[in-house]
Amino acid sequence: MEKKILRVKIDTKDENAFTRLVLEEHLDMAGERRDKDGKIVAEAYMLSTQLEKLRESGINITVLDEDAAKTGRQRQKQVSSVNRFAFGDRSPSPPSGFGKKV
Amino acid sequence: MSNLDSYLSVNEVEDSIAALAQAYPNTCQLIKLPNPTTEGRICHALNVGRGLVDSSKPAALFTGAVHAREWGGSEICVYLASDILEAYERKTGLRYEGDGEGKYFTADQIRSIVDNLNVIVFPCVNPDGRNYSQTVEPLWRRNRNPTESGGNPDCIGVDLNRNYNFLWDFPNLFFPNTVRTSADPCDWLSQTYRGSAPSSERETQNVAWLLDNYPTISWHIDIHSYSQLILHCWGDDENQSVDPQMNFANSAYDRKRGKKNDDYKEYVPADDLSSCVSLADRINDGIKAVNSNGYTVQSAFGLYATSGSGQDYSHSRHNALPGKNKVFGFTIEFGTEFHPPWEEMKSVIREIDAGLLEFCLAVQE
């Protein structure tokens, strides 16, 4: 059965508690920043059971995406399904980047 | 179909740089990496420049897609190379536009990069992982090595950015409960399994091979997502420039590393640190011209303690291994999610490519 993964935002000023939770709960951490006032704002991907434990710890958590894997599967549709640079009878045109040649 | 409609598949990453090598034979060279992946993929890098044989010219290495789900690093590398090559061939400059004032690189500046520097792009370090993320499990982070899995699909894969030979043995080298690395292949929740040994993975070995075989490489930028950060050394602890003996190779400091605001801090000569910060700031200058918010420049440890990272491995080699060239290591964490919607990713490519070009100018000064 596919696991349902939530994308959450965590914010806290308690560095030690945060680090302990990351390691104890084996959190899959993603974006993370520390503001100048020492506040940690981080994003993590987790199961709902992990979310419950984090909420019990008192850390401020906001769910950003109830089903991050579903969102990811939508992004998979934005991956090319053909090979635009395949070498066959003719050499492919090389890729052209996003800078304007001026 | 336009080149620019969608993310590149793993086959496209390989064939796109092969197509560049064929289209611009005088200004780039394909480099075949020696270690096939677990799933049998052969990887290539592309050198943009007059050739790595000329040892008088320094080289910069840009790596992408170390982490499977961080797709856009490949696009950033491929389209950077194609921009430089096409602009050089057509004798034009390059303009990158965004919500900032925009960034323009003149034809002379493009020529200086090709003529004075070698820019090695290795766009897809982890093609097995990328393919799996793009076709099966989008949040996959690791490679696809099943060796330690015991047949459990959750236990497949190694976090390549914990596998490099830099303080890999974290339980014995770091203060307890500080570093975000796992020694358990079945830690599928955190996905930070370090592997069975330092540089055990073929993908990691390929990056090390580039550093070994092209000793003119003086800078390594590892492109990841996300958080809009530019990270410089070190990742294992805070920096200090006072005591050279307090360093990663000194066993007297084992089990002391990784804790914030304690006595142990990782040694970096003041000039080196200044260079790192200055170059990171220049990358940000290029980014800010396109994305007016810019990114945050900080040490990797300012994020959290890591072991086995590519950035730190690159920077450690000249101290850890006799005769190795000094390499300044950086990490860029682009964007605000692992694989943004493609329309948003196009903007990210513009800002990061502008940042990398600004970096290429800065290292020539």
Residues of chain A contacting residue B20, judged by C-beta atoms under 8 Å apart: 94-95
pLDDT of residue B1: 37
Contact B95 A99 (CB under 8 A): yes
Check: CB of residue B13 under 8 Å from CB of residue B127.
Answer: yes
**Interval B214-257: pLDDT, tens:** 999 999 999 999 999 999 999 999 999 999 999 999 999 999 99
Check: CB of residue A92 under 8 Å from CB of residue B82.
Answer: no
pLDDT at B2 over 60: no
Instruction: Count CA atoms closer than 13 A to B164's CA, side-chain side.
Output: 23
- Residue A20 host element (H or E): helix A15-24
Q: In chain B, whose CA is at the least distance from the CA of A19?
A: B178
DSSP symbols for B156-222: ----GGGTSSSS--HHHHB-TT-B--BS-TT-TTT--B--SSTT-SHHHHHHHHHHHH-TTEEEEEE
The sign of the torsion formed by the CA atoms of B200, B140, B119, B270 equals negative
Contact A50 B189 (CB under 8 A): yes
The sign of the torsion formed by the CA atoms of B18, B72, B9, B311 equals positive
- β-strands B266-267, B239-240 pairing: parallel
Residues of chain B contacting residue A38, judged by C-beta atoms under 8 Å apart: none
> What is the residue-averaged pLDDT of chain A?
91
**Interval B20-32: pLDDT, tens:** 999 999 999 999 9
DSSP symbols for B75-117: HHHHHHHHHHHHHHHHT--EEE-SSSS-EEE-HHHHHHHHHH-
Q: In chain B, whose CA is at the least distance from the CA of A29?
A: B190
Name the DSSP letter for residue B281: H
Residues of chain B contacting residue A93, judged by C-beta atoms under 8 Å apart: 3, 19, 23
Instruction: Count CA atoms closer than 13 A to B359's CA, side-chain side.
Output: 32
Which CATH architecture group holds B10-362?
A: 3-Layer(aba) Sandwich (3.40)
Q: Does A41 touch chain B (CB under 8 A)?
A: no
Instruction: Count CA atoms closer than 13 A to B89's CA, side-chain side.
Output: 16
**Interval B163-203: pLDDT, tens:** 999 999 999 999 999 999 999 999 999 999 999 999 999 99
Enter the ipTM: 0.95
Q: Does A16 touch chain B (CB under 8 A)?
A: no
> Of B86, B128, B125, which Cα lies nearest the Cα of B105?
B86
Residues of chain B contacting residue A68, judged by C-beta atoms under 8 Å apart: 139
The sign of the torsion formed by the CA atoms of A9, A15, A20, A22 equals positive
pLDDT at B93 over 60: yes
Contact B20 A23 (CB under 8 A): no
Query: Would you call the peptide bond into B164 cis, given omega within 30 degrees of 0 as the criterion?
Result: no
| Higher pLDDT, residue A54 or B232 | B232
> Of B144, B17, B133, B157, which Cα lies nearest the Cα of B74?
B17
pLDDT of residue A1: 57
Name the DSSP letter for residue A46: E
Contact A94 B23 (CB under 8 A): yes
Residue of B180, B229, B350 lying closest to A98 (CB–CB): B350
pLDDT of residue B336: 96
Contact A72 B15 (CB under 8 A): no
Q: In chain A, whose CA is at the least distance from the CA of B87?
A: A101
Report residue B88 as tokens: 């050089």
In angstroms, the CA B55 to CA A58 distance is 57
Contact A97 B83 (CB under 8 A): yes
- The C-alpha of B46 sits at a distance from chain A's nearest C-alpha, in angstroms, of 13
- The C-alpha of B209 sits at a distance from chain A's nearest C-alpha, in angstroms, of 27
- Kindly list the structural domains of chain A, giving each domain's residue range(s) and its CATH number in brackets, ordered by start: 9-68 (3.30.70.260)
- The C-alpha of B287 sits at a distance from chain A's nearest C-alpha, in angstroms, of 13
Confidence band of B322 (pLDDT split at 50, 70, 90): confident
